A and B are shown apart, each in its own frame.
Chain A
Amino acid sequence: MSTSIKHDDAPAGARSFTTKPRRGTKVRRQRVKAAWLFLAPMLIALTLVAGWPLVRTFFLSFTDASLSDLGAANLIGFENYLVYDDGSWYGVLADSVWWQSVWNTVYFSVVSVSLEVVFGVIVALILNAEFKGRVIVRAAVLIPWAIPTIVSAQMWAWMLNDQFGIINHLLMSVGIIDAPIAWTANAVYSMWAVIMVDVWKTIPFVALLVLAALQMLPKDCYEAAEVDGIHPLRVFFKVTLPLITPALMVAVIFRLLDALRVFDVIYVLTSNSTSTMSMSVYARQQLVEFQDVGYGSAASTLLFLIIALATVAYLYVGRKQIQLGGD
């Protein structure tokens, strides 16, 4: 990230304070100095917890460091990533479990974010309607968001329990299934179980962002549409959807970045099972359980690069909408 990015983003009212003629004044110089002084604690804190650790993770990925003795690391180049030795390939990039976890993560992210967007919009549309008790419904909808991920994973693990879970019980009493399903243990269903929990937990977030956008929509074109007798579905797709797209894009990118780094839900619901393992679960398993800091750091670095790439792509595409620091 370079310093060459300059946006003329001062709000109009601030111009008199900030444009050139004032540049040399004492007040201005004092303010700029104070600004950096005020930023310093935050910058130092972020360097300590984010910048430096990231650099070290990157460095450790080129070593054979082990968790038990981090100091005794030797540089081994790209061996953690990919190496050809004795007729076969080794390293994260040659590990089928890694690629499985990449696929799992992408599958999880795409499916759950799509479902969240669809249901989030529906919930937002409902909440946007005027009806008695709207405040209560909105508070109720927020509950899943407030529940810690770990707790929601445990609650669902209990509901999805193969023998005593209420979900199997309900499905069987209705006659949809004849035998209980081992939701979290069976490779066919476990990913869906994880998606189900994630969707349940994050619909409120998407719904709230969309609701905020809905409440800013102009009322008059809806009145016009009603007068003209246009079908509500048509109004939704032709008027509402295009207008809330920017907010929807923001929700999608936030959820997507969250989903790509998913850890807790998967770790608690299905532990280290390869059929649901995400990239974060894979990296942590190598790092902590197998004590292989070098290898785990290589996986972490790859995950970081994937997310950074996704972010840059998004920033590039949505540059106009984000307007860094502007009002």
Chain B
Amino acid sequence: MNTRQLAKIAKRIGFWALIVLIMVYAVFPFYYAVVTSLKPSSDLFRVELWPSNWNFDNYISIFSQTSFLRAIFNSIVVAFSVVFIALLLGITASYALGRVRFRGRSTVLLVILGVSMFPQVAVLSGLFEVIRALNLYNNPAGLILSYTIFTLPFTVWVLTTFMKQLPMELEEAAIMDGATPWVTITKVFLPLMWPAMATTGLLAFIAAWNEFLFALTFTLTDTQRTVPVAIALLSGGSAYELPWGPIMAASVVVTVPLVVLVIIFQRRIVSGLTAGAVKG
């Protein structure tokens, strides 16, 4: 055993220690939320890394609240509608932007980029007016409409990037066969775009599921809220007596589907994030 070998072993230990540190840092808060959510309320204020008595009281308590169930339902409806609309508008727009060269194309791309940089609060009062005028205040449909502002720009950007990478020959062949642009999109490109659509759809879903500012401002009653607002307001009221057990249980419930989705689709998400950001 000489010093070089020792140095090598030390390096390996250091490397793995760093990996363990990163893993713990990334996962621990979520793990601790799960642990807290499984504790009976009497144990809540005893700090421990592993619950000594397990029970599901906190989960029973949040699922027996109709407002929480409604919030989950609202979030599901809103997020799926947003994904559907963003993909529908995004795929047609990205065909135009990715495959056709026309005057004003750069301007449109610049406008989309500009919109994606909007601070949400800058449109808050104007959008409030629009939503009131359309009679959508305190209605999840108003949220579906307002989430378009931040899902559509990046959906269009990422889909445009993918659209451009499709081979020219496919489209030439379609044109030779006399296909209209609409047929070209639906019959030729759409089948090839599924991976890209899954990626952008997932990103749009996560963004819509997590949105807070609009949901907080454009809804008023418990039955119309989405889960982030429901969770934030669970803690409202007094600053001294917070129902931490149920809050953590609700947090785990709304997060688990996302964590599962992210782990399953992690490769896709990575490519979507980098495509959207690097090209954007």
A positions within 8 Å CB-CB of B: 1-3, 5-7, 9-11, 13-14, 17-18, 27, 30-32, 34-36, 38-39, 41-43, 45-46, 48-50, 52-58, 60, 65, 67, 70, 123, 126, 129, 131, 135, 137-159, 161, 163-166, 169, 200, 203-205, 208-209, 211-212, 247, 250-251, 254, 257, 260-261, 263-264, 267-268, 279-280, 283-284, 287-288, 293, 296-297, 300-301, 303-304, 307-308, 311, 324-325, 327
Is B123 an interface residue, CB under 8 A from the partner?
Answer: yes
State A303–B125 Cα separation when bound (angstroms). Answer: 13
Tell whether A31 pairs with B129 under 8 Å between CB atoms, given A146-B262, A158-B36, A212-B270: no
Q: Are A250 and B213 in contact (CB-based, < 8 A)?
A: no
B194 contacts chain A at the CB level, 8 A cutoff: no
Main SS of chain A's interface residues?
helix
Interface string of B29-52 (1 = CB under 8 A from A): 110110010000000110100000
Q: Indicate if the CB atoms of B123 and A53 lie closer than 8 Å.
A: yes
- Note all chain A residues with C-beta closer than 8 A to B112: 46
B262 touches A126 (CB 8 A): no
Per-residue A-contact encoding for B252-280, CB less than 8 Å = 1, 0 else: 00110011011100100110011001101
Contact of B29 among A53, A149, A156, A163 (CB under 8 A): A156
Q: What sequence of 0s and 1s flags, for each residue 165-201 of chain B, a beta carbon within 8 Å of any chain A beta carbon?
A: 0001000000100001110010000000000000000
B209 touches A148 (CB 8 A): yes
CA distance A261 to B214 in the complex (A): 13
Q: Which residues does chain A contribute within 8 Å of B47, judged by CB atoms?
A: 164-166, 169
Decide yes or no: A158 and B248 within 8 Å by CB, A164-B47, A283-B124 being known contacts. Answer: yes
Q: Is the CB of A154 within 8 A of B251?
A: yes
Distance in angstroms between the alpha carbons of A279 and B149 in the assembled complex: 20
Is B58 part of the binding interface, using a Cβ–Cβ cutoff of 8 Å? no
Given contacts A49-B148, A155-B248, A303-B119, contact A10 B101 (CB under 8 A): yes
Q: In the bound complex, do residue A151 and residue B255 qualify as a contact, i.e. CB atoms below 8 Å apart? A: yes
CB atoms of B235 and A154 under 8 A apart: yes
The reply on B140 being an interface residue by CB < 8 A is no
Could you tell me if B132 and A70 are in contact, using CB atoms closer than 8 angstroms?
yes
- On whether the beta carbons of B217 and A284 are closer than 8 Å, the reply is yes
Question: Measured between C-beta atoms, what is the minimum distance from B73 to chain A in Å?
Answer: 17
Known interface pairs A70-B132, A155-B30; A50-B107 also in contact (CB < 8 Å): no
CB proximity to A under 8 Å, residues B98-120? 100-115, 117-120
How far apart sit A164 and B242, CA to CA, in the bound complex (Å)?
Answer: 12
Q: How far is the CA of A191 from the CA of B105 in the complex (A)?
A: 43
| Cβ contacts under 8 Å, A42 to chain B | 89-90, 92-93, 152, 156
Contact flag A39-B96 (CB < 8 Å), given A18-B101, A34-B181, A148-B258: yes
What is the bound-complex CA distance between A38 and B182, given in angstroms? 9
**Which residues on A sit within 8 Å (CB–CB) of B145?**
48-49
Taking a contact as CB atoms under 8 Å apart, the answer to whether A155 and B33 are in contact is: yes
**A250 to B247, alpha carbons, bound, how many Å?**
36
Whether A261 and B96, one on each chain, are in contact in the complex, defined by CB atoms closer than 8 angstroms, is no
Residue numbers in B under 8 Å from A205 (CB-CB): 273
Which applies to chain B's interface (DSSP): helix, strand, loop or mixed?
helix
Contact among B108, B126, B235, B263 with A139 in the assembled complex (CB-CB below 8 Å): B263
Q: Closest residue to B210 on the A side, CB-wise?
A: A148
**B1 within 8 Å of A (CB atoms):** no
Q: Does B60 contact A (CB under 8 A)?
A: no
Residue in B44, B130, B231, B244 whose CB lies within 8 Å of A49: B130
Q: Report how far A161 CA is from B46 CA in the complex, Å.
A: 12
Q: Do A54 and B23 have beta carbons less than 8 Å apart?
A: no
Query: Does B7 sit within 8 A of A, measured CB to CB?
Result: no
Q: Please pick, from A49, A261, A288, the residue contacting B149 in the complex, using a CB distance under 8 A.
A: A49
Is B119 a contact of A38 with CB atoms below 8 Å? no
Which residues of chain B come closer than 8 Å to A49, judged between CB atoms? 123, 127, 130, 145-146, 148-149
Of the A-B pairs whose beta carbons lie under 8 Å apart in the complex, a sample of 15, sorted by A's number, is A11-B164, A38-B95, A39-B96, A45-B152, A46-B111, A53-B126, A53-B129, A54-B122, A57-B122, A57-B124, A135-B266, A150-B228, A200-B29, A263-B120, A304-B122
Could you say which residues of chain B place their CB within 8 Å of the CB of A31?
100, 102, 181
A51 to B132 CA separation, bound complex (whole angstroms): 17
Of B121, B129, B181, B269, the residue contacting A142 (CB under 8 A) is B269
Q: B6: CB under 8 A from chain A?
A: no
Taking a contact as CB atoms under 8 Å apart, the answer to whether A208 and B274 are in contact is yes
Q: Told that A50-B149, A56-B129, A154-B235 touch, could you supply 5 new A-B pairs with CB distance under 8 A?
A: A27-B175, A41-B93, A54-B123, A60-B126, A126-B15
